[in-house]
Amino acid sequence: MPSNLQKLPRLAINGYGRIGRCFLRALMESPNAGNLDIVAINEPANLESMAYLTRYDSTHGRLRGEAEIVDSALIVNGQRIAVSHAKTPEIVDWRALGIDLLVESSGCYGRRPELTRFLDAGCPRLLLAHPGLSGSDVDATIVSGINQNTLTGSERIVSAASCTTNAVVPLLDLIEREIGVDQALLTTLHSVMNDQPLIDGYHHDDLRRTRSAMQSIIPVSTGLARGVERLLPQLAGRVQAKAIRVPTPNVSAIDLTISTQRPVSVHSINALLVAATKGPLADLIAFSEEAHASIDFNHDSHSAIVDGSQTRTAGTHLVNLFVWFDNEWGFANRMLEVANHWSRLWPSKST
């Protein structure tokens, strides 16, 4: 815990949708919650809806505590959070809020000129809940537990990558170090997202995403392979990915096939993964051989849960893994870890 003479880092959230609300819940439920002070939320929706969806979540259940409106502010478990409803970065006086970090979870800003608008409006730092559109759009892309020690504290714009990148990078990094990766192919089976309509409609430039989210399995484009290469440049040109949206509200999966440099068996790869769950990656990777369905991992804070019952090999150098992950809750917890780690590198502010 910070000393009584040191101010807690002050955070704000821009975009109070699925990830923004999960981030707030993760902060409230975390044993390290006292290390960060959430002071403001900017969300175009009305305050009544914000309070209601803070209390009740169809996926993650009721809030552990209370959320109410007092004097046009959101009070969550006794914490007063100022609320604004701006649609552009410049309208909010971020400087007056005295924040140290803005969590950008609207998903509307991905290029550096767009993100710089927040900095120009008084935000000292940004943590993105999505990848930058290119590596040059951010100062660093961080996957908690993998490369957070590369942060120096001088960065202005940091991305926490994506939920899928956080799920697959720890596994690929481990297997590359211990067995060696020649090539990897992965398919994400991702639950529906808010860029898909419930019924067919003119909703997206991608024609497939004009189709009803809950009636079809829908292939979509993905930049996952390039995202992996940003974190693991030693695998550049050796990873390819595709993504499929499936009609479930939460919890996704990855079908991961790896051509290995050294011989591998079902027993040896599973043993490696079990060992990883007992070491430094314990908070990131879990392992199970029970007969699971996706809903079993709703509200699971791990980045990836390897389903050992589905591990397969063909010959001695080709292995296939099946990996579950809660694309909301797991990722929100990784974002919180990045925020906590990064904040410890900033110059301290005395009371």
Which residues are part of the catalytic machinery? 163
Instruction: List the strands of the sheet with 37-42, edge to edge.
Output: 67-70, 73-76, 79-84, 37-42, 10-14, 101-104, 126-128, 157-159, 140-141
180: left (phi over 0), alpha (psi -120 to 50) or beta: left
Annotated binding site for NAD(+): 18-19, 327
Annotated binding site: 18-19, 327
Distance CA 71, CA 52 (A): 16
Distance CA 309, CA 314 (A): 15
The phi and psi torsions of 259 (rounded to 5 degrees) equal -90, 120
CA 343 to chain centre: 18
